[in-house]
Amino acid sequence: METFDFAIAYVWEFDEEFISLIEKIFHQNGLSTFIITENNIFEITQKVKNRQLNFRYYLDRASDVDDNFLELAKILTRRKTYIFNPYKKVEHAIDKATMHLEFITAGINVPYSIIIPPHSQLEDLFISIDDLEILGRPFIIKPCNTTGGGIGVVTGAETLKEVLTARLKHSDDKYLIQENIHPIMIDGKRAWFRCFWAFGKSICVWWDDQTHIYNTIRPEEIEKFKLKKLFQITKTIQHLTGLDFFSTEVALNAKDKFVVIDYVNDQCDMRLKSLHPDGVPDETILKIINNMRLLVQKEKRMNE
């Protein structure tokens, strides 16, 4: 049986630059890689099933959008392959209603929210005028389990009618109705951040929620603007979810509180800023890849 140190599955064309960098860095450090795409998924699934092929570590960026990758995911799970972001943990972490309550229990600040049941379970919905007053206007409507690229999210909602209409779109999903968070300005930038938990470490960057432009947080800014809490929050979320790789959004409000906005995103957009204006800073992506590489190397040495 042929065994590779690391395999990655993907279907999004813009993942290619990220994967090319992974291969380059892993190969430079003596690690073997294997790429799985829609062009070879059936062949690879069969080879793994027949024990002709094996992977020590697996990063799945495909099965959440392409069912053809699900069988391979199930086989590798049964074989106890080290899967970054185990599927059961992902299922738990991407439920916004569950995370909302767990974050509150863990002392993480979250926006004021109302959790409403799926339309398929409860057609008639009552929300009091008092609840709507606390939410303020405009507010945000989010499905709890439909994730990725803002699918199903309504921003700038003003009325209960919009809530009733939105929940029909994903009728089997719970919804969060959430207050809008307004960040303060720091040094001419909106105090909104995207924080990654990347294979054992927190990496936080500036991220403008309006322009979607990233900027690196310089070491001196962490001290100057008291941003250490961002890294602590990200680590706490990792303890709650058990995920290896995810991102979260955090804003600093006028009450000097860090508020977590978009709870857990398990499929992070890894386009490079050098190639895309709204991409992640290249040095951040390099840190993420090297954190993963170090983890694979460490585990490989331990198992040899």
Give the residue extent of every domain in the chain.
2-84+289-303, 112-179, 183-268
pLDDT at 149: 53
For domain 2-84+289-303, give the CATH number.
Answer: 3.40.50
pLDDT digits (tens, 9 = 90+) for 135-178: 888 888 888 876 555 566 888 787 878 887 888 788 888 888 88
- Does domain 112-179 fall under CATH 3.30.1490.20? My reply is yes
pLDDT at 146: 66
The yes-or-no answer to whether 2-84+289-303 and 112-179 have a common fold is no
Tell me the C-alpha distance between 304 and 300, whole Å: 6
pLDDT digits (tens, 9 = 90+) for 28-65: 999 999 999 999 999 999 999 999 999 999 999 999 99
pLDDT at 231: 98
Q: Which pTM value belongs to this model?
A: 0.90
Higher-confidence residue of 58 and 126: namely: 58
Tell me the C-alpha distance between 33 and 25, whole Å: 10
Q: Percentage of the chain surpassing pLDDT 70?
A: 97
The residue type of 52 is: Q
Fold of the 183-268 domain: D-amino Acid Aminotransferase; Chain A, domain 1 (3.30.470)
Q: Which of 216, 224, 160, 214 is nearest to 186 (CA)?
A: 224
Order of strands, sheet of 33-36, starting from the edge strand that comes earlier in the sequence: 33-36, 2-10, 53-61, 82-84
pLDDT at 150: 57
Order of strands, sheet of 245-252, starting from the edge strand that comes earlier in the sequence: 214-216, 201-207, 192-198, 245-252, 258-260
Confidence of residue 127 (pLDDT cuts 50, 70, 90): confident
Order of strands, sheet of 175-179, starting from the edge strand that comes earlier in the sequence: 113-116, 175-179, 139-143, 154-157
Convert 155-215 into a string of H (helix), E (strand) and C (coil).
EEECCHHHHHHHHHHCCCCCEEEEECCCCCEECCEECEEEEEEECCEEEEEEECCCCCCEE
pLDDT at 153: 80
